[in-house]
Structure 1
Amino acid sequence: MADLHSTFTEFDGIIKLNSTKKSSLRTSRNSIREDIRKYFDEKREDHSVSFKGQGSFMMNTTIKPISNEFDLDDGVYIFGKEEDRPTPQTAHNWIYDAVKNRTSSESLDKNTCVRVIYKSDYHIDLPIYYKVDKSKDEYTLDDEVPELAHLSKGWIKSDPYAFKKWFDGEAKNKPQLKRIVRYLKSWSDKKQTDNSKLIFPSGMIFTILASNCFIEDERDDISLLETLKAIQEEIDDTRFDDAYYECYRPTVDETEDLLNKYAAKTTKENFLNALDSFIKSGNQAIELESKKDACAKWQKHLGDRFPCSTIKEESSDTSARVFSNPDQIGFDHKSA
């Protein structure tokens, strides 16, 4: 059977953020933080502010998207008295005003964040939270559930830092799990790049599903395939009687089914059919003798960045395949 563990780890090196890109993102993030601190020091005497990184960047599951437009999430935490709580729109206005001149591109005020756009190849999203009591340590933000300034829903309880802590616990001493999450995100990126109308679940959903269904193995190709199968058995209610098309947050709000957003008939069918196709190709790849043939099966779903060109076929891989049928061998011992 074709062992493509080394090809998968090479792929992981291709898609994950390198130290140079991480440093660039951190520099931009820190400059934005200084803009916001300065704004609050000068204009908001009833409020203070601190920050907490969140999302895939902090969990080390960010991938380089095919479009090359990176994103980073940095939570902005506003502290003040309950009677001084602003409306969500006012909170957004404060942050927008603080960062609007950071880049030459116009910042965007979105439903759940303010976005600062860097023309090079990335943007930084700033979700805004309010907390009534500030801890002595500004980085201890889990003593009270913050509330997110959501422009259409108002102030809603949200704790992305708690989600990061949950995932850190799930991935402790399991570096393979983070690689599996990155592979799943790359698959999603490839599918949606090929078809801009295709809607796939979010990176958070893939992170939760991978964590809940993770199957460890010394080989990444087998771990990915078995994890995909476990996910399918968990959520594909069109193929498994005991499955439920659900994915609940492990942290606030634990009653929210994240897959409900992707439950429209066509969206659900497209996702589950793509998952089934991925599994079928994975099964075929594992059974093949030729590494190049197996790689082509995976590459179909993971894209051209999956490094099949670097594979060197071992003689035993090709000989078994070429001469497996005695009828193909002529009298002069050459293939017919």
Structure 2
Amino acid sequence: MADLSKTFIEFNDIIYLTNDKKTDLRKSRAVIREDIVKYFNEKRDKHTVKFKGQGSLSMNTCILPLSGEYDVDDGVYIFGKEEDKPTVATAHSWICDALNGKKIIDKNTCIRVICDNEYHVDLPIYYKTDKKENEFFWDDKDVPELAHKSKGWIESDPYEFKKWFEGKAKDKPQLKRIVRYLKAWSDNKSHLNLPSGMVFTILAANNYVVKDRDDEALLETLKAIQQNIDDTRFILASYVCKRPTVDKRENLLAKYSADTRKKNFLDELNGFIESGKKALELKSKKDACAKWQKHLGERRFPCSNVVEDDETLAKAFSHQDVLRYDNKSA
């Protein structure tokens, strides 16, 4: 059985954001925050503003995408009285005005700031009443409301999601690596519009199978995910991924349920699993690596660094049914 645990750890290092890159991102985020604070201090006497990082950077599951443009999510929390709550459009306009001069896109759920074509900062806007404004405001029992341009003010609590995931991943660095591998798989198959990073984070956390080796843990976690959501192959499965925090009723797979999109996702998931099974059965590390590389990407999954020892190689050649370096089958 080919052991590619070292190759997966090397792959994690390739897709992982370095500490220097994270520092650069946080510096850019700080400049944006300063502009917004200045605007509120000068223009908004009935409201104050605070911030809380969210998303994959704050959960340490972010990856460097193939496009080279990665994103940072930074929650903007506007505080004020209930009677002074602005409309969603007004809240968006305040943040746009605060960032006048920067390249921005006013999206449905956030303001996106484009930074040097290497990354962007997404700024979802929340409203909180002035009941308990302090540096730990995110622990308040009151659920923040997100400024959604098509749905209005809706309850949303990304910090609760972060706490939920951190609880799942406590003392389990392998789980965070599994999430990164799944995101890298989705990134490599971007033309198929596979589910979002949040969906894969939830699916991985709810179906994580602990193994000593990352290749085995990834395969077993993929199989557990499939058995739970692939209702085309498993009778007891349900094509559902519920958000673990507000809104817990929301099925995040619903927007990936159109016939073609769902079929593409489940077929790719099945193909990934079949390749993983074959990879673990092979004696040749290079043959096994080619199976994984088919799904995780030739540009980044480091098969060229795999070293075969003579004894393993001889055993691989002794079996006529082994096809070497074939990454075209499952």
| Offset from partner CA, 1:136-193 (integer Å, 9 cap, x none) | 422331311000000000000000010001001000000000000000000000001x
Counterpart Cα distance in 1 of 2:320 and 2:48 = 76
1:296 equivalent among 290, 293, 297: 290
2:309 pairs with 1:309? no
2:258 pairs with 1:264? yes
Counterpart Cα distance in 1 of 2:100 and 2:25 = 18
SS at match of 1:17: coil
Q: CA 1:325/1:97 → structure 2, altered by over 3 Å: closer, same or farther? A: closer
Cα deviation for residue 134 of structure 1 reads 4.9
Query: After superposition, where does 1:64-83 map in structure 2 within 5 Å?
Result: 64-83=64-83
Which residue of structure 2 lines up, in the alignment, with residue 118 of structure 1? 115
2:99 pairs with 1:99? yes
Counterpart Cα distance in 1 of 2:135 and 2:85 = 19
1:243 equivalent among 219, 233, 237: 237
Cα deviation for residue 315 of structure 1 reads 1.1
Cα deviation for residue 20 of structure 1 reads 1.1
Q: Percent identity?
A: 63
Which residue of structure 1 lines up, in the alignment, with residue 31 of structure 2? 31
1:319 equivalent among 299, 314, 319: 314
2:269 equivalent among 256, 264, 275: 275
Cα deviation for residue 323 of structure 1 reads 2.4
Counterpart Cα distance in 2 of 1:163 and 1:108 = 25
SS at match of 2:112: strand
Counterpart Cα distance in 2 of 1:170 and 1:33 = 30
Which residue of structure 1 lines up, in the alignment, with residue 177 of structure 2? 179
| Offset from partner CA, 1:191-238 (integer Å, 9 cap, x none) | 01xx2xx22111000000000000010100000000000000000000
Counterpart Cα distance in 2 of 1:280 and 1:92 = 46
Counterpart Cα distance in 1 of 2:146 and 2:303 = 44
Q: What amino acid is aligned across from residue 62 of structure 2 in structure 1?
A: T
Worse-superposed segment, 136-145 or 256-265: 136-145
Q: CA 1:47/1:242 → structure 2, altered by over 3 Å: closer, same or farther? A: same
Which residue of structure 1 lines up, in the alignment, with residue 57 of structure 2? 57
SS at match of 1:256: coil
Which residue of structure 1 lines up, in the alignment, with residue 246 of structure 2? 252
Counterpart Cα distance in 2 of 1:279 and 1:95 = 45
Counterpart Cα distance in 1 of 2:131 and 2:26 = 25
Which residue of structure 2 lines up, in the alignment, with residue 87 of structure 1? 87
Which residue of structure 2 lines up, in the alignment, with residue 334 of structure 1? none
Cα deviation for residue 30 of structure 1 reads 0.5
Counterpart Cα distance in 1 of 2:127 and 2:319 = 68
User: What TM-score do the two structures reach when normalised by structure 1?
Assistant: 0.93
Which residue of structure 1 lines up, in the alignment, with residue 325 of structure 2? none
Counterpart Cα distance in 1 of 2:215 and 2:127 = 43
**Moved >6 Å (runs of 4+):** none
Counterpart Cα distance in 1 of 2:136 and 2:10 = 35
2:229 pairs with 1:232? no
Counterpart Cα distance in 2 of 1:108 and 1:294 = 44
Worse-superposed segment, 128-137 or 173-182: 128-137
Q: What amino acid is aligned across from residue 84 of structure 2 in structure 1?
A: D
SS at match of 1:37: helix
Which residue of structure 2 lines up, in the alignment, with residue 45 of structure 1? 45
Cα deviation for residue 246 of structure 1 reads 0.2
Counterpart Cα distance in 2 of 1:121 and 1:176 = 28
Which residue of structure 1 lines up, in the alignment, with residue 135 of structure 2? 138
Aligned length: 319
Which residue of structure 1 lines up, in the alignment, with residue 9 of structure 2? 9
1:156 equivalent among 141, 154, 157: 154
User: What TM-score do the two structures reach when normalised by structure 2?
Assistant: 0.95
Which residue of structure 2 lines up, in the alignment, with residue 21 of structure 1? 21
Q: CA 1:6/1:301 → structure 2, altered by over 3 Å: closer, same or farther? A: same
Maintained 8 Å contact 1:52/1:139: no
SS at match of 1:89: helix
